[in-house]
Structure 1
């Protein structure tokens, strides 16, 4: 059956990107810079404004040193932090190469706006290229690790080409297999070029090009039963043996080049202009096994586990880690295909997303006087994402017919099988598109106004944004279930009016002490793929889509001195009208369904504290801690439609989520780091971290009256469906040792880092509740229980060895 895989993919899509981001790429901040940072001593009575800069001290200390678990800072989503390259929004995949090119990175904590960038509720990470040349323009580095890949290399060079031209070139490559998780590997190379030209001190033009091809084998979550039976916390059900060699079914292949132009010029003595034009365009492929009128090939499916089969031989096979049971049996899939006279019952296909994301930003800056600066401009965005399936490997078969095989045995809809009614019964070969083909289009325009007032003691910022956005779907296949414009051609355009207001007031009591308060309100456009019940082949949008509203406040205090730097912050943020859509199999209705959860409300409140203490010339201590409460404050409404005819299965039912916590967001966190900078360029870091009060990702459907009344018939069953599982607390202990060798104009640095020295193998990275419900029959009695929670375990002890040379 093809539809189960499609629905599973979309149901996992919400939780997987964040985990993939963390597991696929780590930034080690000590790899190429291991000297002591000197503190400049100035006459502090004259400079009140220096302390008004809101450096994200907590984020700098915790990003790398906290335990290797899911970390939604302040309980907010992964996209709450804005990443900007001089005003143009970027994705995380480009950060490493931007650092190599010499871009400076400034982090603005929480609600603090950056110059010309109001930001959201989760801070701003701003990258900018300095005008001056680096003192050491060349870098060559190699690294060895046992996580995600084995070998990596970096090179970077920059120089003056003459006549006002400068150029920077960088490359970051990595390759090899993970030594802890079978099937995980990385083959990636990111190359970047930046060319800049200055006509004078008043006019500069730059071009940035980044080419990031990558291929990565990924890991999947699984149930606790599978982990226990195999005795392997890093069991990965995504791979298996083919002809005696390991093959992963979940491989992500990406090539998303970035091209960006930037012009900076002074229009008058008071006004300057900056224009950014750029975007990403490319392909992202994610392979998955599919099956047609056959048993699922995924080895950890609940039907294959001993708890379901009750078979002693199956349990023995799992306990013995027999790969014919615990992993994908590729050879058996190929054998089954060869017995079917050319038509596949198993196949490996790609879920392809062809992205075109374009941005145009024009920003003016006018300095009215020494104290008041106005920043204003326009942002235009065009985002088109075309998605389709493409056959990668027929596993020994010759073709597969492009029909909806899930409906073959359906008494009502078995005569409506065509995925593409305009090309019926098309035979799909390797490389062909099939199944679905559609595009999501987002067009958005925003006006920005920011007023910055600076005096010796007073800082005041006022930011406002007003925009208009339109989102639509265009289908390129006419689904027989939804003929005509129900699936083919453009849908109606959904209109939104996003806005943002942010106000900041700060006062410097002295050059060492500063207090700041911020108020924030915004309405953001929902993600395009969340606005349609079934974007694969249905033009029907959700009912009454709204902007997601956020109201937040923050109060922070900073104290600095010759021996320490301290920042305290208290915050609160309320989110309303969040929207989520999912596709899943409804066991109670025995139907594949499309679900919309609307009116989700969240509350995040807490405190953060961070301090850097210079104990002596060579010793430095860093401390950070946070405590918060991240909960659902509204009971959202759940609507469920049948996937085959859009009939209502559940209409605006209340999901009782008010006592649930936000998943993947530790409510207690602490980190400490001790650093020693020894003589002759050597030193070490010791760090310890803690993350507590963590919970699995909750599912609203399980908390509707329909599920609890029909399946929660006993107190134990009701508790199983409504109780949110708390994950165990996580601890980490890391250490690194480094040595730098200094020459006339160059430096060689060797750094070794060991992560998770305690080798805690029972630390869960994250978990999420299943939407599925299991039916248990015993004679005439029937009972229900939720499917097992899916988990991912954090990595054990691992190492990074880096050798870098700057010259």
Structure 2
């Protein structure tokens, strides 16, 4: 029953914690458990949007009547709205991507994972050092991770917190009824209206983070006598500027689902999700720029006609439609789903052609350029550059229009979009059969096919009449058979299609005995991908147009686990996995915008993982401690940059193969109930994430800039190996600790605070500077005389970021007024307004020892590492009313 209103709670989950057996309440909130076991048991009752209750019961084979059990509404679930889920490109520029695993963790009650999501996540913390590719997200049992980067696209359902709140999360390598899954864990979002709480909910939010305001309305009909149930949810989020300057936010989302239950065991559901998200992007900054302008500075925007205009915007609009059938009988749980998704993911940027770089942070415009000059430091011009930058730190749109007007009708500058238009068709099924109390069998599979059309499209010629579609560095045509002059709305530069598909099947068995349980799972998948070029590029006449080689990978994966119950309150668990998987599409094609070339000797990846855990469930103390070990082998990475190396200078594609990574560590989380109103928590992670091999490195130059005898027949240069082994991975803080205290008053208000310490955070390395080519003097072709082992090690010392201390406060209050439930939630993150670097990367421009040494002599290098900086003190407020 709901405390205060005495309304029965249906679909509440009753869990025997030491066996993980689950039961559900019916429409009247009643439940009955029949067990053959006896002894001490911990019983947990949980329901969506309610505070869980735990009971210690002793079973002797006789019936037990627990009487009426009241659950209190949990307004702390508003904290999921407060979660900052960082996705690829949200806080990055084109040279580096950021991907955290926080979005996966919204539905878990695990103490450590909650701290990881809501506290450590502000510093780009990644659980076990994994990115979100290693966790699978499903909607109604259908996988929705993208083929391109392996990650879920959270913007596809962003803003629909109420509609997607019903989530099932399985942590790590544990058994999942819907999928074989990833090593980080799996989240299944259930959109069936019959399991959502009936009624109307209205909410409004205010924040100073990515968006400033949000309005949301959700209505759930509940199950009707006719068997119909439906849900509708809409939201709007906006900001003229977020915390970072010039980062507009413009998003709306619409959700609709209708379900028909033929009978209590069979139902069919249709779901539609339309979420459009447009936002201004921001850049990583060198320390020089940060010192001049601070952590809110963003060089991508300027004012035009008095209004903010950001040159780097991202827009995601990929509507998703799902049709699902579910059968839920006593021993059978069967789900079938079909999904269709289509839409765009676009990013805008400025193009410039035989014209100066318009970026106000371009290295030639900064003081360091004059100080690091090869002819000696020029402090007068350095000071003039400093004053000019401080006076005009933003993009000058007027100057771009002027430059175009002075260039005849041809564009010197233009604004264009890089667009990926994706269409995905998916089908999935899972079948679980309870053979007996001892054995549960599971089978399933899925098929996904994606057609991704990729092209650049001119958005704004900035006053010019046309753009000449050719590469200005080599004076070659981007589209030999097309028109030279392109205008607004036309495709230019590149145009190609990527067709990818995957078929996967899995089988698993779970055994449940009195003192132990265990499971084993196996999966087989087949992945195919092929490029089809629509432009014949003059630089690659032989392999840019038409279909390229079709790649196919077959993969096997195995995992299993064993749990031993020392008592009903203490148990141990061990899980292990061996997973073969295909490379992500992003790391298969060397330069898909221009040609069909594939990474040579491409291998499928091998992931080996094991974890050991101890769990405790006492009346006052709950928690776990886990040790983990994971090795990623045969991985590939591709990077794009301009380099001055020992072998030449040009824009290059860097291909890294045979890259192994090692992740190991200990994580823990415990909660102690000091009284009925006070809880104490402690959580932490001691991680060690390093490169575990010296990978092979190959670069693709514009051959005009390199000695001919170095070039392989396919136009590549093999740089040998990069000495990376045992260097630290840039996977966020590897060590993190949190202590928290919360107070929940009997009069329906609560407050909690968490103090956090995070350390051992490293920036991403430049691989090319760790190869033998780094030591070669491009003037002589010989090794630099002063490139001793000691000097090189000093110059390439890995950059460890500063330690981070954070204090976060959250709280709320609820009221029940005339049958209406009103709740208020507030949070303040980073109370002491600390500014810290959350991550970064080394620039690869200085690819030889002499140039990097000279650039670093002043202490303010022109091509210093770039960093992402934290937000300062931020807040989130939410007011909601439910009818």
Normalised by the length of structure 2, the TM-score is: 0.81
Partner SS state of residue 303, structure 1: helix
2:349 and 2:445 map into 1 onto residues whose CA distance is 41
Alignment of 1:101-120 (within 5 A): 101=163, 103-120=165-182
Q: 1:179 to 1:193 in 2, by over 3 A?
A: closer
Alignment of 1:302-321 (within 5 A): 302-310=363-371, 315-316=382-383, 319-320=386-387
Partner SS state of residue 212, structure 1: strand
2:687 and 2:738 map into 1 onto residues whose CA distance is 15
Partner of 1:440: 498
Partner of 1:18: none
Q: Please, which of 749, 756, 760 is the counterpart of residue 823 of structure 2?
A: 749
Q: 1:292 aligned to 2:353? A: yes
2:430 and 2:877 map into 1 onto residues whose CA distance is 43
Partner of 1:222: 285
Q: 1:522 aligned to 2:596? A: no
1:509 and 1:520 map into 2 onto residues whose CA distance is 24
- Tell me which of the two structures has the higher relative contact order, counting C-alpha pairs closer than 8 angstroms and 6 or more residues apart: 1
Residue 347 of structure 1: CA displacement?
0.7
Residue 659 of structure 1: CA displacement?
2.7
2:61 and 2:299 map into 1 onto residues whose CA distance is 63
1:418 and 1:704 map into 2 onto residues whose CA distance is 33
Partner of 1:86: 140
Q: 1:453 aligned to 2:526? A: no
1:708 and 1:177 map into 2 onto residues whose CA distance is 48
What's the RMSD between the two structures over aligned residues? 2.7
Q: 1:281 aligned to 2:342? A: yes
Alignment of 1:60-459 (within 5 A): 60-66=114-120, 68-90=122-144, 91=152, 92-94=154-156, 99-101=161-163, 103-129=165-191, 132-135=194-197, 137-159=199-221, 160-178=223-241, 180-230=243-293, 232-265=294-327, 270-310=331-371, 315-316=382-383, 319-320=386-387, 322=389, 325-408=392-475, 417-425=476-484, 427-459=485-517
Q: 1:396 to 1:567 in 2, by over 3 A?
A: same
Partner of 2:757: 690
Q: 1:55 to 1:176 in 2, by over 3 A?
A: closer
Deviations 1:356-412 (A, max 9, x none): 12211122222222221111122111022111100011111111111111213xxxx
Native 8 Å contact 1:144 1:800 kept in 2:
yes
Residue 114 of structure 1: CA displacement?
1.5
Native 8 Å contact 1:525 1:548 kept in 2:
yes
Q: 1:345 to 1:162 in 2, by over 3 A?
A: farther
1:544 and 1:615 map into 2 onto residues whose CA distance is 59
Residue 605 of structure 1: CA displacement?
0.6
1:158 and 1:283 map into 2 onto residues whose CA distance is 30
Instruction: State which drifts further: 181-190 or 676-685.
Output: 676-685
Q: 1:662 aligned to 2:729? A: yes
Partner of 1:26: none
Residue 98 of structure 1: CA displacement?
5.7
Partner of 1:699: 766
2:61 and 2:649 map into 1 onto residues whose CA distance is 73
Deviations 1:692-745 (A, max 9, x none): 111001122110011134487445762355321001111111112322111243
Partner SS state of residue 540, structure 2: coil
Residue 175 of structure 1: CA displacement?
0.7
Partner of 1:641: 700
- The alignment of Structure 1 onto Structure 2 pairs a total of residues equal to 756
Partner of 2:92: none
Native 8 Å contact 1:367 1:374 kept in 2:
yes
Q: Please, which of 530, 533, 540 is the counterpart of residue 482 of structure 1?
A: 540
Native 8 Å contact 1:753 1:801 kept in 2:
yes
Native 8 Å contact 1:67 1:690 kept in 2:
no
Deviations 1:241-269 (A, max 9, x none): 22333211111112111111111136x97
Partner SS state of residue 536, structure 2: coil
Native 8 Å contact 1:74 1:665 kept in 2:
no
2:744 and 2:841 map into 1 onto residues whose CA distance is 43
Q: 1:242 to 1:776 in 2, by over 3 A?
A: farther
Native 8 Å contact 2:156 2:276 kept in 1:
no
Partner of 2:809: 735
Normalised by the length of structure 1, the TM-score is: 0.89
Native 8 Å contact 2:732 2:839 kept in 1:
no
State the 4+ residue runs in structure 1 displaced beyond 6 angstroms: 32-35, 44-47, 774-778, 781-786
2:288 and 2:409 map into 1 onto residues whose CA distance is 37
Partner of 1:501: 558
1:134 and 1:605 map into 2 onto residues whose CA distance is 39
Native 8 Å contact 1:240 1:327 kept in 2:
yes
Q: 1:224 to 1:603 in 2, by over 3 A?
A: same
Q: 1:577 aligned to 2:634? A: yes
Residue 121 of structure 1: CA displacement?
1.6
Residue 54 of structure 1: CA displacement?
9.7
Deviations 1:658-702 (A, max 9, x none): 131110331211122211111322221111112111100112211
Native 8 Å contact 1:478 1:487 kept in 2:
yes
Partner SS state of residue 115, structure 1: coil
1:612 and 1:503 map into 2 onto residues whose CA distance is 28
Unpaired stretches in structure 1, ≥5 consecutive residues: 1-31, 48-52, 409-416
1:806 and 1:488 map into 2 onto residues whose CA distance is 57
2:751 and 2:59 map into 1 onto residues whose CA distance is 32
Q: Please, which of 453, 458, 473 is the counterpart of residue 531 of structure 2?
A: 473
Native 8 Å contact 1:605 1:629 kept in 2:
yes
Partner SS state of residue 702, structure 1: helix
Q: Please, which of 667, 689, 692 is the counterpart of residue 630 of structure 1?
A: 689
Deviations 1:433-484 (A, max 9, x none): 1000011111111111111111232211111001211111110101111114
1:102 and 1:401 map into 2 onto residues whose CA distance is 47
1:517 and 1:55 map into 2 onto residues whose CA distance is 20
1:803 and 1:315 map into 2 onto residues whose CA distance is 51
Partner of 1:7: none
Unpaired stretches in structure 2, ≥5 consecutive residues: 1-46, 63-106, 145-151, 372-377, 705-710, 778-782
Residue 94 of structure 1: CA displacement?
4.7
Partner of 1:22: none
Partner SS state of residue 477, structure 2: coil
Q: 1:797 aligned to 2:876? A: no
Residue 516 of structure 1: CA displacement?
0.8
Deviations 1:756-781 (A, max 9, x none): 111112x1121011121178999xx9
1:782 and 1:650 map into 2 onto residues whose CA distance is 26
Residue 546 of structure 1: CA displacement?
1.0
Deviations 1:14-64 (A, max 9, x none): xxxxxxxxxxxxxxxxxx9997543344337889xxxxx996432123210
Partner of 1:491: 548
1:33 and 1:265 map into 2 onto residues whose CA distance is 22
Q: 1:564 aligned to 2:621? A: yes
